[in-house]
A = this chain, B = another copy of it.
Amino acid sequence: MGEPEVDDVGFDPKAELLEQWNGHRNLTLRVARAFPPDKLCTYAPVGPLRTFGAMLDEIARIEQAYMRGLAEDRWSYDPQDPPAPADAAAAVAFVEEAHAYTRSVWDRLPADMLLAPRKDPFFFGDAKRPYDWLVYCVENEIHHRGQGYIYLRELGVEPPPFYVR
């Protein structure tokens, strides 16, 4: 049986990636806001696990670094500078701001640039194209958000449903 050409099925990887990311960010914010504010940047069950606030900082910092590079050709990533937000409101705000920036520049990223193989400026790993770097950002967000679900349960809080985006 013949398979169609890719263009027959009308798959737009750039548009689909942003839509997925938007949905995941909505859920991540819902999880962050479900934490008792005094626990978001203080609770971790055991060392060396980080707080969910520190994970949010990582999520936003990586997104910001890639997107600023892709949109403005300004490439820098420093996990410590500026320092991570120290309270819940600031941690949530950072995650919101990083994604608001992504949405604001998305339309001007050329789709072919996202899919052209290129060396990752910050990390190692298998991500070969800017598209893959950003997929990795989303996967890293899902990974850590799942960890936030455990923290919430350990704190006696019911997490939001996973399938709602």
Contacts and interface: CB of A to CB of B under 8 A. Distances in A.
A69 interface: no
Contacts of A45: 45, 150, 153-154
A155 to B, nearest CB: 9
Contact of A150 (B3, B112, B150): B150
Interface residues of A, number: 47
A132 to B, nearest CB: 9
Given A11-B11, A45-B154, 6 more contacts: A3-B110, A4-B111, A4-B112, A140-B162, A150-B150, A150-B151
Interface of A: 1, 3-13, 20, 23, 45-46, 48-49, 108, 110-112, 115-116, 123-126, 135-136, 139-140, 142-147, 149-151, 153-154, 162-165
